[in-house]
């Protein structure tokens, strides 16, 4: 049966996360609902789950459908979807293509602003305190040297391994907004927010660089901080091998 990759963007403020769940409003549920209205019921698989209130510039799902999908279909689906979800593309792929397992990395950014701004209050974390950016940048660099992130995963996370490979981890200023950027092959539940919150403790001199690395080595989630809100977090991109979509397209 033909398989399709669905590329989406969404503002997660009013949703209970990405993944479909009983008696809760989710991104996946909204997407499956409009397909049932316009086309027919489909079961979708997501590439990356985002938590309640987290946003995405790019995320993917895949589904199987024994019909061709025309370009006009994207317009029809977007017309019915709520304003905070947008379908960016629908790409036919080979039946064995998998949006989650074939992805080679995910990139997240966490946004922080320090001066009151009404246009950022639901898309960035207001943190009007003096912070040591140099120390936070050192902490961000240490993260790339580690692979076990048990300390930065929420309690009772059901995974086979807490191993993650981090390719990029850095802080930067962009238009008066402080941004933490991190790219890895996979992320654990709550991991990016926990890294951000704990590095903010470094920036506030609540803990030292040495203590930050000790938290990484402790493999104990009670040692880390998870105290930043979800609305500052964006899934920026889900990345695949170069020419991936050319190689997996159906002809």
Catalytic residue annotation: 51
CA dist 205 and 52 (Å) reads 30
CA dist 13 and 17 (Å) reads 9
Let me know if 106 is exposed, middle or buried by CB neighbors in 10 A (0-12, 13-18, 19+): buried
CB 95 within 8 A of CB 34: no
For residue 74, the surrounding DSSP H or E stretch is: helix 72-80
CA dist 150 and 215 (Å) reads 10
Cα distance between the two ends of the chain? 13
Exposure string for 134-146, b = 16+ CB within 10 A, e = fewer: ebbbbbbebbbeb
Other CB atoms within a 10 A radius of the CB of residue 43 amount to 12
Residue with tokens 């091998």: 241
């Amino acid at each position: 049966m033909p398989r399709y990759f669905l590329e989406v963007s969404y503002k997660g403020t009013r949703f209970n996360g990405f993944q479909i769940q009983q008696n809760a409003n989710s991104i996946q549920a909204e997407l499956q609902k409009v397909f049932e209205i316009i086309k027919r019921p489909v079961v979708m698989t997501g590439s990356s789950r985002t938590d309640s209130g987290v946003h995405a510039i790019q995320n993917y799902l895949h589904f199987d459908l024994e019909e061709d999908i025309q370009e006009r279909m994207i317009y029809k689906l977007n017309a019915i979807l709520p304003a905070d979800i947008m379908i960016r593309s629908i790409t036919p792929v080979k039946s064995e293509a998998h949006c989650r397992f074939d992805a080679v990395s995910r990139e997240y950014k966490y946004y922080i602003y320090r001066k009151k701004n009404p246009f950022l209050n639901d898309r960035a974390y207001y943190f009007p305190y003096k912070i040591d950016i140099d120390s936070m940048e050192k902490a961000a660099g240490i993260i790339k040297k580690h692979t076990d992130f048990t300390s930065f995963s929420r309690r009772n996370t059901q995974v086979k391994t807490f191993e993650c490979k981090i390719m990029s981890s850095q802080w930067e200023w962009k238009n008066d907004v402080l941004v933490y950027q991190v790219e890895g092959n996979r992320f654990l539940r709550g991991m990016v927010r926990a890294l951000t919150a704990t590095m903010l403790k470094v920036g506030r001199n609540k803990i030292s660089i040495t203590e930050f690395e000790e938290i990484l080595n402790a493999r104990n989630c009670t040692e880390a901080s998870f105290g930043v809100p979800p609305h500052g977090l964006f899934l920026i991109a889900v990345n695949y091998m170069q020419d991936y979509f050319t190689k997996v397209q159906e002809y």
